[in-house]
């Protein structure tokens, strides 16, 4: 029975014991003798007879490892561009989203600007003033200031301070 075949591991090589039919027969004889006479010398004979069938083979695991290494390398080489592409797409998407937000903000600003301009239109101000009973002052007083004060307080009015003589009025607008 194949129970006679056995193998064991060695740190670098794998040894395999193969027993030929002649050796098997010799071993059987030796076994029967050993039942009669169990001397250590007989056992040594059996082991020596088996030695010619042994041979050393390379471990197949080493080749598989190399293949796996290559495959792994190729896998990484293929996956890397995909990963980079994904990252680029994701970033583009984020940029696109941010740009959209910016567009929305600009659009809101434009709308608010238009709304503000409409609300501050002279026509609307006048209508509101009329509704509130406000009138343009009949007379406007101009106070000429000293040069220093004029610079500080009324530069936009060309050095004169403009004041209304009517209550609550203001010159200009």
Rounded CA-CA distance 81/76 in Å is 9
The one segment of 20-28, 37-45, 50-58, 137-145 that binds other proteins by CB under 8 A: 137-145
Closest CA to 167 of 128, 122, 129, 136: 136
Residues 20-79 that bind other proteins (CB under 8 A): 67, 71, 74-75, 78
Q: What are phi and psi of 57, to 5 degrees?
A: -120, 155
> Is residue 56 helix, strand or coil?
strand
Decide: is 90 part of the binding site for other proteins (CB under 8 A). no
Rounded CA-CA distance 142/161 in Å is 6
Decide: is 96 part of the binding site for other proteins (CB under 8 A). yes
Q: Please report, for residues 17, 27, 36, 41, 53, the alpha-carbon distance to residue 31 in angstroms, rounded to integers and kept in the order given.
A: 18, 6, 9, 12, 19
The one segment of 17-25, 34-42, 132-140, 145-153 that binds other proteins by CB under 8 A: 132-140
Shortest spacing between CB 113 and other proteins, in angstroms: 6
* Interface ranges with other proteins (CB under 8 A): 67, 71, 74-75, 78, 81, 92-93, 96, 99-100, 103, 106-107, 110-111, 113-118, 120-123, 126, 136, 139-140, 142, 144, 156-158, 160, 162, 171-173
């Amino acid at each position: 029975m194949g129970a006679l075949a056995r193998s064991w591991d060695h740190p670098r090589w794998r040894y395999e014991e193969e027993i030929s039919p002649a050796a098997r027969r010799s071993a059987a004889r030796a076994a029967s003798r050993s039942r009669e006479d169990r001397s250590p010398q007989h056992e040594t004979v059996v082991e020596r007879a088996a030695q010619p069938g042994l041979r050393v083979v390379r471990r197949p695991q080493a080749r598989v490892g190399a293949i796996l290494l290559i495959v792994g390398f190729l896998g990484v080489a293929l996956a890397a561009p995909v990963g980079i592409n994904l990252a680029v797409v994701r970033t583009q998407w984020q940029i696109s989203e941010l740009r959209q937000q910016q567009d929305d903000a600009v659009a809101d600003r434009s709308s608010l600007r238009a709304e503000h301009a409409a609300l501050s239109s002279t026509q609307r101000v006048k209508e509101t003033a009329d509704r509130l009973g406000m009138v343009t002052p009949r007379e406007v007083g101009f106070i000429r200031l000293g040069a220093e004060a004029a610079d500080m307080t009324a530069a936009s009015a060309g050095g004169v301070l403009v004041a209304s003589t009517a209550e609550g009025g203001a010159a200009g607008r």
